[in-house]
Chains A and B, each alone.
Chain A
Amino acid sequence: MEESYPEEYGPRWSDRRVERMLGALVCAVVALLLAMIVIVFVKAWPSFAHNGLAWFGAGGNVDDQLNAIFLSGQAGAEYVYTFHAWPLIWSTLLITGGAVAIALFSALFVAVFIVEFAPEWMSNILQPVVRFLASVPSVIYGLLGVLVLVPFIGNHLVSEPQKASVAGVISLSGYSLLAAITVLTVMIAPLMVSIFSDGLRAVRPGWLEGSLALGVNRWRTTWKIAIRTARPAIVAGTVLAVARAIGEAVMLAMISGSVGFAPNPADGAIFIFEPSRPLAPTIVKNIDQLSSPPANATLFAIAAVLLFSAALLSLTGWAARRAMRKYGATA
């Protein structure tokens, strides 16, 4: 191919030219991300501007508000933006918090088990199992949740008197916090396990051997030395899992109940059977309303909140890992 190419231009794939081309590509991707952040916030601005901080507060029925916003987008009507997202935010906090707490606990134990304590045959089984659980598409988890877990909760775990006790407020059909947290835990725990166990494997053997030589048993050595050294990896895995949990839209749209209701811990134990709807599924459920300008702004406002949480999260993770770098571990 060099024949038709004028020799005096220098080599066609000269280093400088390749570097510039790749540099341009990199700049384009960075610019794309910046453009995305700017566009999402610009699109979201009307909703935030009309509501102020009350956007994040409670008040009224979210679903009615969303409906009114959508209808006001029809020709001739004056746009309505009133939106108080607290039930959605509270649901996100509850579901994400619950799932991440359970997943963090179990993922730590399972990662320690895989790396240190499991006999070889067991860790040979567990590693593919973890990878399998991590790679099942979320919509399949959602389907199994809807067809298996939700009916089970609705028929066997919630009693009729319990259903009757809140019948005037909300119907307990199995679409619940419990179902959402359970399935979300199964989704994010494998992610954590794989990152945690990579971190545990990277711990320098000499440190562990030193501890063992002092007569500390293997269990204590693992928890006092290996886990502490692997803390950056634990933070990284947790941050990734939280990001996944906050952004999970489709699975939660299927099993969270899709009601703009804030489950109230004051209701006692049945509050985990109450339905709700986090932020991300709200976008999926109302995606048909994008054509209505005020609804469009509201949905983008939700997306902006998600984007902001994701950014905040990775910043936190970065800061935490930076602070831990002095422990000499790699993440």
Chain B
Amino acid sequence: MGAPVATPPATPPPSGAPPQPGKAAVEGSATWRLTDRIGLAICWALGLLFCAIAVAIAVYLFLQGIKYLRPSMLVTPASAGFTQGESGGFSDALFGTMIVATMGIAIALPIGIGIAVWLVEYGRPAGLARITESTIEAIAGIPSIVLALFGTVIFSSTALGFLSRSSDGIVFGRSFFAASTMLSLVALPLVVASTREGLNSIPRHVREASYAVGKTKAATTRRILIPASRPQIATGAMLGLGRIIGDTAIIVVLLGATQNFAPVEGAAFPFNYLRGAGTTLTNFVYEASPTGNLNQPQKAYAAAFVLLLMVLALNAAVDVVHRRARKVGAWSS
């Protein structure tokens, strides 16, 4: 059993390639006991099942998307109508997704980087550092529907009435500001985690070299460490964006049950929209599904297809950043 096995594995790795370091020497399953071989068969079956599910989802949505998506849907807002042909498109939802994504990540990114820098570079007192780590972990584990409910409390308070529609002292509490702020909490743990990873991967001597030429810790962080961990920060930001774009519960609760922008009267241009209620693609899909209020499955498919394309684009961007970061190479220590 220990001797080199004569039988080649079912699918040999490309010949000529040297064995990967860290990988066990290739040993066929022919000598294994039956139970072990059944286990390997389960592995193959489940792996193929995963592929099949992914392909089925992608292909099905792609076909439905091609079938029902019209370019005009991307530029016409939703409107009332009796048939799916009369009720317009979902341009407001598309813009809403972009607004929410931009604002959410604009809040999460600086806060997340700040927390990560504090944790890695400062981290004193140690007790506070431990509490902070647990806090970030806890925020990652909180269901977004709970965040949404908490958001209704914050943003319905009279003190924050200027962030949403308010009349006679009653604050509506639903606005792009409210939704983006709570959504930034969804992205925050991802940004913190990958920024920390980036900072931790920078070897100590880089910092020491900077201190040696008289730079302060703060200047080192700003000029050396953060630029050096840019790929990881970008990865974290894009993972966070993906979560923000895909979140529905917070949107349903904090942005409103409308399918159009509902700007607040009497406010200056960007703020009248940002203070008003609106919608995003996730909310549109939710409402347009047969269980929602609109029940327009064709439009739901079209919007879901657009949403999926955005998520896939983000995934591809993460890949590109990863590959480029690997090409530039790790620090030599």
Binding site for B on A (CB under 8 A): 11, 13-15, 17-19, 21-23, 25-27, 29-30, 33, 36, 39-40, 43, 106, 109-110, 112-114, 116-122, 125-126, 129-133, 135-140, 142-144, 146-148, 186, 189-190, 193, 205, 208-209, 212-213, 215, 217-221, 223, 239-240, 243, 246-250, 253-255, 258, 280, 283-284, 287-288, 290, 299-300, 303, 306-307, 310-311, 313-314
Q: Which of A139, A212, A253 has the most CB of B within 10 A?
A: A139
Interface-side segment among B158-166, B265-273, B284-292: B284-292
Q: Is B183 an interface residue (CB 8 A)?
A: no
Known: A29-B111, A303-B146. A143 touches B51 (CB 8 A): no
Closest CB in chain B relative to A124 CB, distance in Å: 11
Known: A39-B153, A135-B246. A33 touches B139 (CB 8 A): yes
> What bracket does the count of chain B residues touching chain A fall in?
35 or more
- Inter-chain contacts of A215 with B (CB < 8 A): 1-2
B40 touches A254 (CB 8 A): no
A250 touches B122 (CB 8 A): no
- Inter-chain contacts of B118 with A (CB < 8 A): 19, 22-23, 25-26
Q: Is B323 an interface residue (CB 8 A)?
A: no
- Inter-chain contacts of A217 with B (CB < 8 A): 1, 27, 31-32, 36
A–B Cβ pairs within 8 angstroms, 7 of them: A36-B150, A109-B47, A113-B47, A114-B47, A135-B242, A250-B249, A303-B150
Binding site for A on B (CB under 8 A): 1-2, 9-14, 21-22, 24-25, 27, 29, 31-32, 36, 39-40, 42-44, 46-47, 49-51, 53-54, 57-58, 60-61, 111, 114-115, 117-119, 122, 124, 128, 131-132, 134-147, 149-150, 152-153, 188, 216-219, 221-222, 242, 245-249, 252-253, 257, 282, 285-286, 289-291, 297, 300-301, 304, 307-308, 311-312, 314-315
Closest chain A residue, CB of each to CB of B143 = A247
- Inter-chain contacts of A254 with B (CB < 8 A): 286, 289, 291
- Inter-chain contacts of B137 with A (CB < 8 A): 314
- Choice from B114, B131, B141, B253 contacting A22 with Cβ under 8 Å: B114
- Choice from A119, A249, A258 contacting B249 with Cβ under 8 Å: A249
- Choice from A13, A137, A189 contacting B311 with Cβ under 8 Å: A137
A33 touches B143 (CB 8 A): no
B143 touches A39 (CB 8 A): no
A144 touches B36 (CB 8 A): no
Known: A136-B311, A139-B304. A144 touches B61 (CB 8 A): yes
B47 touches A119 (CB 8 A): no
Closest chain B residue, CB of each to CB of A119 = B11
Closest chain B residue, CB of each to CB of A242 = B141
Closest chain B residue, CB of each to CB of A175 = B291
Closest chain A residue, CB of each to CB of B110 = A25
- Inter-chain contacts of A221 with B (CB < 8 A): 24
- Inter-chain contacts of B53 with A (CB < 8 A): 133, 186
- Choice from A132, A219, A243, A247 contacting B39 with Cβ under 8 Å: A219
Closest CB in chain A relative to B277 CB, distance in Å: 13
Closest CB in chain A relative to B240 CB, distance in Å: 12
Known: A23-B128, A132-B54, A144-B57. A303 touches B24 (CB 8 A): no
A126 touches B51 (CB 8 A): yes
Known: A129-B51, A129-B54. A140 touches B132 (CB 8 A): no
Closest CB in chain A relative to B150 CB, distance in Å: 5
- Choice from A11, A135, A219 contacting B40 with Cβ under 8 Å: A219
Closest chain A residue, CB of each to CB of B280 = A139
B61 touches A13 (CB 8 A): no
- Inter-chain contacts of A14 with B (CB < 8 A): 216, 218
Complex Cα spacing A314 to B114, Å: 24
Complex Cα spacing A311 to B308, Å: 32
Nearest first, the 4 closest Cβ-Cβ pairs linking A and B are A247-B143, A137-B246, A113-B43, A22-B118
- Choice from A21, A193, A247 contacting B146 with Cβ under 8 Å: A247
